[in-house]
Amino acid sequence: MIITPVPTSSHEEIYYVEDAATGLLGYIAVHSTQLGPAAGGLRMRPYQTPQEALTDVKRLSQGMTYKNAAAGLPLGGGKAVIIGDPGRDKTPELLHAFGRAIDTLQGRYFTAEDMGMTPADMAHLAAVTPFVAGLPSGKFASGDPSPITARGIFNAICTAQKHLCGSADLGGVTVAVQGLGHVGWHLCRRLSSAGANLVVADTDDSRISKARTVFEAAAVAPDQIYSVQADIFAPCAIGGILNADTIPQLKVSIVAGGANNQLASAQDGRALHARSILYAPDFVANGGGIINVATEILKISNRAEFVEEKLMALDLTMQAILTQARAENTCPDAVAVATVQAKMARGIA
């Protein structure tokens, strides 16, 4: 196996990982350990080029720094990606190889489940390194973080709805959900139970069919989800989807979802604000998953109480960000970034 440092001025450490025996190609990025060891999930996607994967892992790891700080966790930000199709290329041997690469960082980075990964995959990693969370079993095992992630996003949607309309009631509200993976599905379940009408999009036809049956959801093609007439847009798939092409198409009043790095650039946060679309910053809205994972990394025995306390605090943080953004007539993303940077400057989670 070859582990090669990647020159960087924006991160503490980045490594390119290659293992010819298993076909492994990937990256590990540690953005910051200022508040504690870096933590963030392992993602497997069929990136078109290594550069695309590198760009993604850099953005995602910085997002984890902000997410962990916003959630009040004594953790820094990191991320890892594997280049490949998880349905075709993922093997126990490949995961063992990547686990050994993670182990070389000696605890400066803890990984967990992300897109293309499962708790069972985390168990394969844990066979060769202790620096992994999201395990399906064990004393401090936190399991699948998706339900807790979805719960935090649902809270953020309710908070944004109340901020804009004076009530958190979602009865009769139309929510356009992009992506029906683990997080998107759990979010749809909560939204449907709250009385929301759902319009969904996903590249997997079987998920769409199931959503029609279970949630009585309407469905549109993936490239049409941006122009759906709805009250709320909830992106729960890949990042960078709020950009100069998609923002002009939006016919919603609120954007609040689970995808990481939803804004292609800071300018896109300002573009949403200019269109009077309220944006719930993603790294605050989707912090529930890492809160759940943190109980395993930090070996928290009273996991349920810890998660409840942190979720409540995260919702208060979102409320404060939206309130400050309104008072300053600026985009919530800028306020959220300034908030977490101030926390980091003080050296406290």
CATH number of the domain to which 89 belongs = 3.40.50.10860
Last residue of a domain, one of 126, 156, 173: 126
Output Rg (C-alpha) for the chain, integer angstroms.
Answer: 19
- Note the pLDDT of residue 349: 60
Residues 99 and 160 in one domain: no
- Note the pLDDT of residue 348: 63
Q: Is 180 annotated as a binding residue?
A: yes
Residue pLDDT, tens place only, 308-323 = 999 999 999 999 999 9
Q: How confident is the model at residue 139 (pLDDT cuts 50, 70, 90)?
A: confident
Catalytic residue among 79, 90, 310, 343: 79
Q: Across residues 212-236, what is the average pLDDT? A: 97
Residues 273 and 321 in one domain: yes
Counting every residue written for the chain, the total comes to 349
Residues 85 and 220 in one domain: no
Last residue of a domain, one of 96, 126, 156: 126
Residue 306 lies in a domain: no
For residue 262, with 0-12 CB atoms within 10 Å meaning exposed, 13-18 middle and 19 or more buried, which class applies?
A: buried
Residues 120 and 168 in one domain: no
- Specify the residue for token string 């400057």: 345
Burial 154-187 (b: 16+ CB within 10 A, else e): bbbbbbbbebbeeeeebeebbbbbbbbbbbbbbb
Residue 308 lies in a domain: no
Residues 151 and 58 in one domain: no
Residues 65 and 97 in one domain: yes
Residue 49 lies in a domain: yes
Return phi, psi of residue 120, to 5°. Answer: -65, -35
Q: Is 182 annotated as a binding residue?
A: yes
Q: Is 125 annotated as a binding residue?
A: no
What's the mean per-residue pLDDT of the chain? 96
Residue 297 lies in a domain: no
79 given a catalytic annotation: yes
Closest CA to 120 of 103, 102, 135, 110: 135
Q: What percent of the chain has pLDDT over 70?
A: 99
Residue 139 lies in a domain: no
Angle at the Cα of 152 (from 32 to 47), degrees rounded to 5? 55
Q: Is 263 annotated as a binding residue?
A: no
Residues 241 and 151 in one domain: yes
Residue 252 lies in a domain: yes
Residues 19 and 103 in one domain: yes
Residues 279 and 208 in one domain: yes
Q: Is 181 annotated as a binding residue?
A: yes
Residue 133 lies in a domain: no
Residue pLDDT, tens place only, 106-133 = 999 999 999 999 999 999 999 999 999 9
Closest CA to 126 of 294, 118, 116, 181: 118
Q: Is 6 annotated as a binding residue?
A: no
Residues 50 and 157 in one domain: no
Residues 278 and 172 in one domain: yes
The domain in which residue 280 lies consists of 146-287+315-345
Q: Specify the number of domains making up the chain.
A: 2
Residues 214 and 103 in one domain: no
Q: How many Å from the N-terminal Cα to the C-terminal Cα in the chain?
A: 36
Q: Across residues 66-77, what is the average pLDDT? A: 96
Q: Across residues 126-154, what is the average pLDDT? A: 91
Residue 7 lies in a domain: yes
The CATH number of whichever domain residue 228 belongs to comes to 3.40.50.720
Q: What pTM was computed for the model?
A: 0.91
